[in-house]
Structure 1
Amino acid sequence: MDDHSLLTDVALSILGATALGLPAYLLRLPLVLAYLAAGLILGPSLGLSLVQNPQSIATLSEIGLVLLMFILGLEIDLRKLMRAGRAVMINGVSQFAGCAALAAGMFYLLGYQNRGHDYTLTYLAIVGSLSSTLVVVKILSDRLELDLMTSRITLGILVLQDLWAISFLALQPKLNQLAMDTIFLSLAKAMSLIVASWLMARYVLPHIFQRIGKQPELVLVAAMGWCFGISGLAGVMQLSREMGALVAGISIASFPYHTDIAAKITSLRDFFITLFFVALGMQIPSPTAHVLTLAGWLTFFVVFSRLLTVSPVLMFLGYGSRGSLVPAINLGQMSEFSLVLATLGVSLGHVSRDFLSACILTLVASFLLSSVLMPKVHVIHNLLSPWFDRFRFKEAKTPDESKTEPEHKVPRIILLGFYREASSFLEELTRRHTQTFLQDLLVVDYNPETLAKLHERNVQAVYGDVAHSETLRHLHLDKAAIIISTVPDHLFKGTSNLKLLRTLQELAPQALHIVTAETIDAARLMYAQGASYVFIPRIVAAHYLVDVIERIQSNRLDAIKQGAEKFLGQWQETLP
């Protein structure tokens, strides 16, 4: 395999994904479907055989799996999960266990069994029990429904599904020798990996990240090193590398840097994940009657098993007909994680390629169904309401809903970057307003020492490189009222106040945007671009200095000097 053929295959894969991704985006279809279709067209089985070495794309795509698991781990906050409430905790167990039991029973009756080293029935039970975080979050986010009670229940169940999948990943390489001693050995290895990662994350990594926190690029490199290091260690221990990446992400999910790291890795992950789905599309063989039949049954199961395992439990807990139906429909698709497990199963010899093909077809069909059903879930509920009333399923506010932990107050003033002008601005705010007013302020900066000082003053502050657009996207700026940048352009790396203004107008169009300019021409350009106010430090200083000169000419120098010394004596801002 020469470099030219590899680069050519990668180029063709990305071009094909782009060509089909654009119409999919316009039609509001999941992009995963476009990537699979691109692989199908480019591949050797049903396509044009334009990609000469599909295995090279599949090898590169493994990097995407590792990064996907790492970012997923970064987004799993175990402390929040423990506070999620009984609806999530109970459903997280009953949904997965119930779906696995139903799948095992249903597909056994359909003639699917474990024979020798063929674990088709086991894999059917596992992959049929997992739902897609990617699709659910995308659709709920587009509809601005992530904060709804039903959405929080849905997302909580998805997190617990990921934990179930981690458990299976730990056992997956040893299914061929699955005995009690093998299970205990695999679990012992997994626990030792988790403990070692936790100890490193608890006692070593914080000091390393603290020292390099002022260099966001080095923080990113260190995080990537941690990800691939733990992933490689998992491989040496004969555990799944993907599981290692997931453990690496979870172990540093509580770090203040995790949002910034996830934001910056996202683009890299998306590139390799695109290759992963294109490579999967290349592996789709000519669909036989057996593959189509299995895909049909699996799609049927994925959609309706959620209604049988999620809705009754939520109904029993008192969430009413709507609160019980919506999460069940939200979860009605196969997970991309299921494809990861099925792909690993093929590589381990546990299942056939026909099984993987059926899973891919199920993913496509269930994604299409979800893209139609999820936006119409309330219409579906209204249609079913007469039946709910007939069976006395009341629609009422539940005790759990009233006891839900209150949402954190969203800061209305966002201060991007914290240098000397911002430090003085905060001190002036502190002198003029109460602490209650300061609760409406959030500071974003990448200096750990500065963040620690701000926390000591009870000021909300998070780690983030504001020069990176993905970091800003992860800050959820859409609810901010005022967004301020006091950092001059010469201190920015890779951006400017003008570029920052354009990004902010896209992410928070309703907010007021205050940016900083070092030249008059730059200020005029930013006003023309729609800035609410342009802060020019030298002009503000000039106004004040002229006022001082006029007072001096009125023979008031002593009073001015004494007032300035007294003022500075009382001035205690964060940065000296």
Structure 2
Amino acid sequence: MAETSLFQSFFLIFSGAAIVASLALFGRQPLLVAYIALGLLLGPSGLAVIDNVQLLAEMSNIGIIFLLFLLGLDMQPQALLSVLRKATFVGLVSCAIFLGLGFAIGQLFGFTNTESWVIGMAMMFSSTIIGIKLLPTTVLHHKHLGEMMVGLLLFQDFVAITCLMILLSGSTGEVDVAQLGLSIAALPLLVFFAWVVVKYLLLPLFTRFDRFHEYVFLLALGWCMGLAELAEILGLSREIGAFIAGITLATSPISQYIALSLKPLRDFFLILFFFSLGAQFKLSMVPEIALPALITAAAVLLVKPVVFRYLLGNQSEHKVLAWDIGFRLGQISEFSLLIAFLAFNQQLIGSGASHLIQATAILTFLVSSYIVVMNFPNPIAIKDELRRD
């Protein structure tokens, strides 16, 4: 069969997504379900009409970078520091609980100690995409719920980056403590550099040329991608760099215009992300990992909301708010998929453990989306009383 061109791939993905998204809305289903199902259908394990899945997966990661940039634009620095202080205790305790739970499940199903620890790592994190995409914009901007959610997700992002750095040094069997220390030390330097560039270069340029909307869009895009790449070079991650790029612009009067202009671009790449997630999954692995994946997914869906409810309740949060946050964070993360991919490439885990994490991600993404869409305020709710933009 002839290799599918990039244009043909885009045609199949976006025309197909338009059709299945329409069917999903008529059937009162979350759109994320449609995108993942389309990936399974068109990818190598389904009809195999799209063969450049790896390229699409790499492109789709740009959507996560834009998502973090837009998160930064929506957060005022003082509010962020305040909520991070409050989220640290909950984040530390919850990460420890989920790490132990994942390790226990890995041991139960006969995975090696290293594979069990990697499964535990993957269980520590919740999805930024699902958590924020299903959060009403008004809540994200103005409500304590949005601040607490972002604080917890950001804390998890810092932990995830530490885990990725540990895995990158794991091929030698030893953690590169020096490299880890340098990366952590680089974080405040990157923040200071970003603040200086925004204050003395970007803001004067925005002020002088704000009439040229194309230029504002281009400058914001260049700043986001440039700082993301610099963060990657310093041993952090592109996601952290993009978030810092956003938050240093958050106090600018033009920040909300930039956020609005970038949202369609973000959504374009996020559709690619969920499609590639479905397309990369090997259905031939299902018989081997079905039972472990079902039990792991059930543990995530049942335990995470309870843990967050209890921990946030002890932090003087209202009971209803604590349950709301708990269910919104009741899945594993895009970082979990990255951890599975990296650990497999480093030969720290086998194909079975990698696909267990992937299957758990897909199952928890789907079920958690259903739970939030059907029961909590969100932009794509089926019930009119729950729909909030």
Shared fold, TM over 0.5: yes
Q: 2:333 aligns with which of 320, 332, 335?
A: 335
Distance (whole Å) between structure 1 residues aligned to residue 330 and residue 165 of structure 2: 26
Instruction: Provide the residue aligned with 1:127 in structure 2.
Output: 122
Match of 1:287, SS state, is helix
1:200 matched to 2:197: yes
Task: Describe the superposition over 1:468-512 as per-residue Cα deviations: whole angstroms up to 9, x where unpaired.
Answer: xxxxx9xxxxxxxxxxxxxxxxxxxxxxxxxxxxxxxxx99xxxx
Q: 2:265 aligns with which of 227, 243, 268?
A: 268
Structure with the largest fraction of strand: 1
Q: Does the aligned pair in 2 maintain the 1:173–1:238 contact within 8 Å?
A: no
1:228 matched to 2:229: no
Match of 1:51, SS state, is coil
Match of 1:107, SS state, is helix
Instruction: Report the Cα offset of residue 130 of structure 1.
Output: 1.9
State which drifts further: 339-348 or 287-296: 339-348
Match of 1:256, SS state, is coil
1:96 matched to 2:91: no
Distance (whole Å) between structure 2 residues aligned to residue 347 and residue 261 of structure 1: 37
Distance (whole Å) between structure 1 residues aligned to residue 75 and residue 112 of structure 2: 34
Q: Does the aligned pair in 2 maintain the 1:112–1:121 contact within 8 Å?
A: yes
Instruction: Report the Cα offset of residue 326 of structure 1.
Output: 3.8
1:41-52 paired onto structure 2 within 5 Å: 41-45=41-45, 47-52=46-51
Provide closer, same or farther for how the CA distance between residues 275 and 183 of structure 1 changes in structure 2, counting only shifts above 3 A. Answer: same
1:211 matched to 2:211: no
Q: Which amino acid aligns with 2:182?
A: L
Provide closer, same or farther for how the CA distance between residues 348 and 279 of structure 1 changes in structure 2, counting only shifts above 3 A. Answer: farther
Distance (whole Å) between structure 2 residues aligned to residue 280 and residue 85 of structure 1: 30
Q: Which amino acid aligns with 2:178?
A: D
Provide closer, same or farther for how the CA distance between residues 173 and 299 of structure 1 changes in structure 2, counting only shifts above 3 A. Answer: same
Instruction: Provide the residue aligned with 2:7 in structure 1.
Output: 7
1:165-564 paired onto structure 2 within 5 Å: 165-169=160-164, 173-176=168-171, 177-285=174-282, 286-319=284-317, 321-346=319-344, 350-374=348-372
1:81 matched to 2:76: no
Distance (whole Å) between structure 1 residues aligned to residue 196 and residue 165 of structure 2: 20
Q: Does the aligned pair in 2 maintain the 1:329–1:373 contact within 8 Å?
A: yes
Instruction: Report the Cα offset of residue 24 of structure 1.
Output: 1.9
Provide closer, same or farther for how the CA distance between residues 208 and 333 of structure 1 changes in structure 2, counting only shifts above 3 A. Answer: same
Q: Which amino acid aligns with 1:334?
A: I
5+ residue gaps, structure 2, are 380-387
1:17-36 paired onto structure 2 within 5 Å: 17-36=17-36
Match of 1:310, SS state, is helix
Instruction: Provide the residue aligned with 2:111 in structure 1.
Output: 112
Distance (whole Å) between structure 1 residues aligned to residue 142 and residue 185 of structure 2: 38
Instruction: Report the Cα offset of residue 43 of structure 1.
Output: 1.3
Instruction: Report the Cα offset of residue 170 of structure 1.
Output: 5.3
Provide closer, same or farther for how the CA distance between residues 231 and 374 of structure 1 changes in structure 2, counting only shifts above 3 A. Answer: closer
Task: Describe the superposition over 1:338-375 as per-residue Cα deviations: whole angstroms up to 9, x where unpaired.
Answer: 33444455555554554443334323322343344446
Distance (whole Å) between structure 2 residues aligned to residue 182 and residue 86 of structure 1: 26
Give the number of equivalent residue pairs.
375
Q: Which amino acid aligns with 1:71?
A: L
Task: Describe the superposition over 1:136-178 as per-residue Cα deviations: whole angstroms up to 9, x where unpaired.
Answer: 4454539989977666644543343334334445555444351
Distance (whole Å) between structure 1 residues aligned to residue 138 and residue 258 of structure 2: 26
Q: Which amino acid aligns with 2:136?
A: S
Q: Does the aligned pair in 2 maintain the 1:170–1:187 contact within 8 Å?
A: no
Q: TM-score if structure 1 supplies the norm length? A: 0.56
Q: Does the aligned pair in 2 maintain the 1:129–1:302 contact within 8 Å?
A: no
Distance (whole Å) between structure 2 residues aligned to residue 60 and residue 323 of structure 1: 36
Match of 1:200, SS state, is helix
* Percent sequence identity over aligned pairs: 30
Instruction: Report the Cα offset of residue 287 of structure 1.
Output: 2.9
Which structure: larger Rg?
A: 1
Distance (whole Å) between structure 1 residues aligned to residue 241 and residue 80 of structure 2: 21
Instruction: Provide the residue aligned with 1:16 in structure 2.
Output: 16
Q: TM-score if structure 2 supplies the norm length? A: 0.80
Instruction: Report the Cα offset of residue 216 of structure 1.
Output: 2.3
Q: Does the aligned pair in 2 maintain the 1:77–1:250 contact within 8 Å?
A: yes
Match of 1:130, SS state, is coil
Instruction: Provide the residue aligned with 2:382 in structure 1.
Output: none
Distance (whole Å) between structure 2 residues aligned to residue 242 and residue 153 of structure 1: 19
Instruction: Provide the residue aligned with 1:39 in structure 2.
Output: 39
Provide closer, same or farther for how the CA distance between residues 109 and 361 of structure 1 changes in structure 2, counting only shifts above 3 A. Answer: closer
Q: Which amino acid aligns with 1:15?
A: S
Provide closer, same or farther for how the CA distance between residues 74 and 85 of structure 1 changes in structure 2, counting only shifts above 3 A. Answer: closer
Provide closer, same or farther for how the CA distance between residues 251 and 106 of structure 1 changes in structure 2, counting only shifts above 3 A. Answer: farther
Q: Which amino acid aligns with 1:63?
A: I
1:162 matched to 2:157: yes
Provide closer, same or farther for how the CA distance between residues 190 and 84 of structure 1 changes in structure 2, counting only shifts above 3 A. Answer: closer
Distance (whole Å) between structure 1 residues aligned to residue 38 and residue 299 of structure 2: 27
Q: Which amino acid aligns with 1:68?
A: L
Distance (whole Å) between structure 1 residues aligned to residue 38 and residue 19 of structure 2: 8
Instruction: Report the Cα offset of residue 267 of structure 1.
Output: 1.0
Structure with the largest fraction of helix: 2
Instruction: Provide the residue aligned with 2:385 in structure 1.
Output: none
Q: Does the aligned pair in 2 maintain the 1:30–1:135 contact within 8 Å?
A: no
Task: Describe the superposition over 1:433-488 as per-residue Cα deviations: whole angstroms up to 9, x where unpaired.
Answer: xxxxxxxxxxxxxxxxxxxxxxxxxxxxxxxxxxxxxxxx9xxxxxxxxxxxxxxx
